[in-house]
Amino acid sequence: MSNHECECATVQQIATGDRAILPKGAKTIPVYVMGKKYEVPETLTIMKAMEYAGFKFLRGAGCRGGICGACPTVYRKEGDYKLHFGLACQTVVEPNMYLAQIPFYPANRASYDIETIEPVAESIHALYPELFRCVACNNCTKACPMGVQVLDYISAIKQGDIARAAHLSFDCIQCGMCASRCMGELPQYHIAQLVRRIYGKYIQPKAEHLRKRVEEIESGKYDATLEKLQKMGKDELEKLYKEREREPDMAPLGTWMPQDTQYL
């Protein structure tokens, strides 16, 4: 056990940074990239393991932080029928993984004018009639590397519940794995994006305090303060930032006021 922990600790060092440099004695595992076997250090993400193996990402890599949706991977494990999905920048390699990158999957994207669209379910249905080809097989949900309940939001759209669909699809990063597995040939993620745009523009309640503050900014209330800040040197700015008054963590709502109220 202690031996194992020791090995992990050794290998963990090489997993930091964008480039993996394999130190002496580090443990490697076999993975298959598009059918060819490579020995890569364990604990690396799929993306780093592939770079270690000599691949260079021209497409299919973006933020490397699990949010841009550019690097979806589909893989199987040895002796298992099941398909698995993940983001290459987030998923750690396992021995005998069979990997393929899906940087892009063709999907129908409708064009529309968000300024003139009628914010009702029928507008979405008319732009994406293939919605009604969904058979509820749930392959979309199984394929989602973000754990989004894709079938549930598609169902909500068919039922005309735009708000529910917008909330359910919120974590979508547009990687397209849902569309790659869809029996009804739906472009789920594009439909969901339209739904969230309609929800954000027409349905979601607007924050009154935000509207007021924008008005204040536009009326020039903060122009002088901003100008003053722009003219400050780096050291002065740093000092000001460090010494700023700050609301205590967990302070009950509406109980705290700064000493200096000139900017309120």
Closest to other proteins by CB, 20 or 144: 144
Is 108 a binding residue for other proteins by CB under 8 A? The answer is: yes
| Residues numbered 176-195 forming contacts with other proteins, rule: CB under 8 A | 183
Using CB under 8 A, count the residues that bind other proteins.
27
- The residue (of 49 and 134) whose beta carbon lies closer to other proteins is 134
258 binds other proteins (CB under 8 A): no
- Residue 160 interacting with other proteins (CB under 8 A): yes
Residue 109 touching other proteins (CB under 8 A): no
From residue 250, alpha-carbon distances to 64, 246, 259 in Å are: 32, 12, 19
Tokens of 224: 């002088």
Task: Using CB under 8 A, pick the residue from 28, 138, 174, 193 that binds other proteins.
Answer: 138
CB contact at 8 A, 54 and 31: no
Closer Cβ to other proteins, 87 or 168, answer by number: 168
- Dist CA 197 CA 192 (whole Å): 9
Question: β-pairing, 97-101 with 83-87?
Answer: unpaired
Among the listed residues 10, 155, 174, 204, the single contact to other proteins using CB under 8 A: 155
Q: Is 31 in a helix, a strand, or coil? A: strand
Q: Taking a C-beta distance cutoff of 8 angstroms, is the pair 165, 192 a contact?
A: yes
178 within 8 A of 145, measured Cβ to Cβ: no
Rounded distance, CA 227 to CA 252, Å? 33
Contact, 5 vs 71, CB < 8 A?
no
Work out how close the CB of 90 gets to other proteins at its nearest, in angstroms, rounded to a whole number. Answer: 22
- For residue 59, the minimal CB distance to other proteins (Å) is 27
Binding site for other proteins (CB under 8 A): 108, 121-123, 125-127, 129-130, 132-138, 141-142, 151-152, 154-155, 158-161, 183
